[in-house]
Each structure stands twice: as C-alpha cells, then as structure tokens.
Structure 1
C-alpha cells in the first residue's frame, strides 16, 4: 500500500478520533515523453497540492491542498489573471470537515467532490465520520448553489472517493468496504435512470483486486481509464466486452507508488498528477507529456493568444 493511501486511511482514523475527541496509452518509454514538476507561482507551496481540475467555463483551477503529511484536505480555487494564478481561496460552497477530489461535469454546470461535512456550507454541527460523494450545481447566473449529498446506494456506510462522471453516462468512483466488492476498496460506477433511481455496479476483476483501488478517471473520448491503486497509477482500455485487464503505467510516472489524482488533457496526450516526494517536505504536482499533444495544456496563465493554424 502506498504512502499516500496509508495517509488517506490514517487521515480517516485521525478524523474519527477528532470527532470522538491518456486518450492514447501512456507510452512512457517513448523518447519524446517527459515528466516534470508543474509548479506555478501561488499554486505550488510547502504544502501538498493534488487533484487538479479546470473549470470548463472559465478555466479556473480547483485543486486540493493538504498538510505536508497529506492530512487536512481542503478544496481551493484560483483564477488566472494578468499576473498569473491568483492566491487560492476556498470556493463559496466550502463546508466543514475535510473535502477533496473536485471534478466538473463536461458543461461545467456541476462539480462533484468528496466531503465529511455535516450538511450545508459552513455548518456549525460536527462533521461526519466518513467521506461521501457530493455535488454542487450552478444557478442561471453561474453561482454555486448549496451542495447536495448523493443518495444511497451511491453513498454507503464506508468511505467514497474520487467521483468522476464519464462520457458513457456513468459516475465512476471508489468505495471502501461496500458489500459485493472484491477488495477492501474497489472501483464502482453508478447511473441514474429517468425516474431518478440509481444503479450501482462493481467494475469487476479486470479492474479490482483483493487490494485497494481508489481513483478512476475515464478519458474524454471514453476509450481509456487511468486508475490509482494501492501502488500507483494503472490504465485500462474499453473493449467490446468491457474494460480490459489493467496495466501499470510506465516508470516515468510510477516512481515510488504514491502517484494520485490523475487529470488527462482533452486530447489524452498529457496528464497532471501528484506524487509524494518522500524525502522532501510535501507532495507536488507533476506533468507528463508524450510529446505529441497540445503544448498549451495545461491552460497557460497568464493566457496566451491562440497559435495560428498551419498555413494560416
């Protein structure tokens, strides 16, 4: 089990104690591929930054900042201005407890996240003892409404992780200790029908093992899935019969098994993720490129003019 995963589990234990008292396969062996720190001013810090997500409507950056030991997760938001990314602040929907794993719907109208909050934003009552999936929607003016906890059977008596809606209409997520699982924590998916009823299913042995699988991310075209297990990042491809047996991403990405919070670029040729630096003070965001994708992703800040098309 990776250090990052152990810290997540330890953080849940500490929380309970406190309450009681790539579109294409990641060919990392390609000579064109590279991995380097992604550390914009005001985003990188001496804390642990992870789980980035860009707002489809305005390219604001939402991410998680934790203490160096990966406890005390909070979702922060930064806006790109003339002098770069702004000082990160909590979004208007922030609640009590710990909160992490932000992710937008494709149109930017909703944001999914995990939280131990007790209720509405800034509630004065004690946080919950477990992590659940929540969603917050925008109103007509683009402002965030009051977040809503997703119902059972999407949430369970255990902890839920990393909610990610996919192009196939399913909401993918991790869940700990759910009946019918293959391990302690597995990857599941849920779907709501026209009547509002939810169906939840386990992704099966091609994805899940007796160990731990926490974080599923389906690519924008629906053909690939990057997932975080107890020892790093893996990939699966969609086939006619379902998701293929997972394969571990290459050594440029999986350096020490602590890699978490993957974010694929729209074209699948780049990926942001976080890694615990072990001997340093905290974790950092890293950027993997295969050398064939959009050089202007992640979104540059300050923004730059679009490059002219070839022959234009």
Structure 2
C-alpha cells in the first residue's frame, strides 16, 4: 500500500511539473534580473525580436530579421504539452513581416508587413490581420485599410479587449518623431488615429507600445529622453482612478541597459515582462585576450549585439 501511495505521489508530482513547465518553452523562470528567454529556441544568436503568445498558451509568434535579406515571423507550437521548434508562420516568408500580436480571443493576429496591396511590388509598412478559420488554420492576411494605414510606416500593433488598436506611427498624428496612437474600435471598423497624451508621447520619439488588455497601463520604448540609460529605454504609464494616463516612468536598471531595449510584452497572468534587447553580454567588456573558439562564441551566441528576447518578473509598481 505504501509503495502504491508513493508511486501515485510521484506520478502526480511528475505530471504537475510537466504541466507547469510546459507553459513556456523555458523552464528557468526569471526573477528581478532579466535573463535570456528560451535560449536555443527563440534566442539563438540570430536577430530575434518581439513576442506574442496565444490566450490558450499553445502558439508563440516572434520575428527573426537580417539587415540585408528580410524579416520573417516564426511560429512555435505546443502539441500535447510539448513545445516544438520554430517554423515559418503560415502567412509569412515572402515579404518583410514582423511584430505579430494576438487579439483577446486568440482568433486573429495583427502584424506589420510591407507586402503590396496589389501586384508584387512591396510598399511601406502597414498593419495587417489574419484570422483563424473553422478548421483552426490561419487564412489570408487582410490590410486594415486607409483609416489605420497611411503612405508612411505603421508599426507594432497592440490590441485591448474592447478591440481598441494601439500602434506606432510616422504619420503626423503625434507630437514629434514616432508616436503612439490609438484607433478606437467602432461597429464598422476603426475611428481615426488619436495621439496619446503628453504623459506618453513627447517631442522626441516613442514606439512599440504594449497596452494592458484592460487599458490600465502601457509600456513603450522611447529615445533621447533626459536620464536615458541606452539608445532606447522602456517606460510605463498607468491610468489613475479617473482613467487619465499618468506621466510615464522609466523602468529600472537592469531592465533598461546601455543597449536598445524595446518590444515589450506582458504575459496574460501579469507575471512576466518579455522584451527585446541588443545588450552585449558581460564577456564583451573583458580586456583579456580570447581564443578563436571564444571569439567565435562571442559573435555567434546570444548577447552578441543582435536582438535577443529576454524576460523578467513583472512588477506592477514600476
């Protein structure tokens, strides 16, 4: 009887651990110091950036880029509790695609692409969407149209539960440089873009915002602000009880680094902040001579100055 009870306990512990560890393709959960996310899967020394995970927790999309070639959205799927390897997203692989994000119900992905509206000639970057069919497969991408998209670039969509669409614009809706706007959802589409207030946007540049699905906080990248740590830092603004955005506060070091820190994403349970950084790992600061193998590792492994995906424990009091 004791042996049977022990076996049942071990089976429960094993099953519980397997379930909890399969939430993300990384069993090494972070603390208050950022660490590489899913090393060897989503973070492998290539220029990997931005992140979204389905509400069911079974699909991850992220971007891999190359300066001379293109930008592709990759998909990692979890099947029977086991995460697979990255593969090309079914709607990517031809044009420059990036910055996918799920709708609240998980049936639509919004993303950025320079694919043409007609013909084969790429255009500027627009926001597109692709929906899941009754068979569970992703369909054909649809451009969000001229209310959202302009003849300049639009980037980094983020969608609230009510359908309001936040994104980065180069068009003249804001206060200077790139700015963050919102297109409120309407019965027949979207209202015209509204620039977020000066608590968020400034005369320099703001970009790549993640909005809380309940629109209670927003995390975004900004450049050239007083007190900056790197070439781009992460900031967070919250709404007060009256629903007014409060002046954004810079996230602390070591979340912000001397590199570029951007593309924020907060998990649905609000436990983790996942973001992109091109920070160099500490071995680059050494004045010690390196061997050929050490040099090769420095330039091909994560932390080599290309974009990497990091995660850290989320603190709502930042």
Partner of 2:296: none
Partner of 1:145: 139
Change (3 A) 1:195 1:77: closer
Return 241-250 or 273-282, whichever deviates more: 273-282
Change (3 A) 1:33 1:147: same
**In the TM superposition, what is the alpha-carbon distance from 1:192 to its structure 2 partner?**
3.2
**In the TM superposition, what is the alpha-carbon distance from 1:148 to its structure 2 partner?**
0.5
User: Could you tell me whether the CA contact under 8 Å between 1:219 and 1:268 is conserved in 2?
Assistant: no
**In the TM superposition, what is the alpha-carbon distance from 1:291 to its structure 2 partner?**
8.2
Secondary structure, counterpart of 1:146 in structure 2: coil
Task: Pick the aligned partner of 2:91 from 87, 90, 93.
Answer: 93
Quick one: distance in 2 between partners of 1:78 and 1:238? Answer: 34
Partner of 1:218: 211
Change (3 A) 1:182 1:271: same
User: Could you tell me whether the CA contact under 8 Å between 1:34 and 1:291 is conserved in 2?
Assistant: no
Change (3 A) 1:195 1:265: closer
Residues 167-220 of structure 1: CA deviation (Å, up to 9, x unaligned): 3431000001x2232012100000232244533211121111111111111124
Partner of 2:121: 126
1:287 correspondence with 2:308: no
Secondary structure, counterpart of 1:53 in structure 2: strand
Partner of 1:107: 105
Quick one: distance in 2 between partners of 1:221 and 1:41? Answer: 33
Partner of 1:253: 255
Residues 79-105 of structure 1: CA deviation (Å, up to 9, x unaligned): 235795423111211253211110000
1:238 correspondence with 2:233: no
TM-score (norm 2): 0.73
Partner of 1:264: 266
User: Could you tell me whether the CA contact under 8 Å between 1:96 and 1:127 is conserved in 2?
Assistant: no
Task: Pick the aligned partner of 1:191 from 165, 184, 188.
Answer: 184
Quick one: distance in 1 between partners of 2:105 and 2:243? Answer: 29
Where do 5+ consecutive residues of structure 2 fail to align?
1-30, 224-231, 285-303
Residues 100-124 of structure 1: CA deviation (Å, up to 9, x unaligned): 110000111100000001148xxx7
Bigger Rg over Cα? 2
Whose relative contact order is higher, 1 or 2, with alpha carbons under 8 Å and at least 6 apart? 1
**In the TM superposition, what is the alpha-carbon distance from 1:228 to its structure 2 partner?**
1.2
Where do 5+ consecutive residues of structure 1 fail to align?
1-31, 293-312
Secondary structure, counterpart of 2:193 in structure 1: strand
**In the TM superposition, what is the alpha-carbon distance from 1:257 to its structure 2 partner?**
4.5
Partner of 1:161: 155
Secondary structure, counterpart of 1:214 in structure 2: strand
Secondary structure, counterpart of 1:242 in structure 2: coil
Quick one: distance in 2 between partners of 1:84 and 1:140? Answer: 24
Change (3 A) 1:197 1:102: closer
Residues 29-50 of structure 1: CA deviation (Å, up to 9, x unaligned): xxx6232111333322221111
Name the one with the larger helix percent.
2
Quick one: distance in 2 between partners of 1:252 and 1:145? Answer: 40
Partner of 2:222: 229
**In the TM superposition, what is the alpha-carbon distance from 1:282 to its structure 2 partner?**
2.1
Partner of 1:50: 49
Change (3 A) 1:98 1:83: same
Change (3 A) 1:224 1:241: closer
**In the TM superposition, what is the alpha-carbon distance from 1:261 to its structure 2 partner?**
1.4
Partner of 1:26: none
Q: CA RMSD in A?
A: 2.4
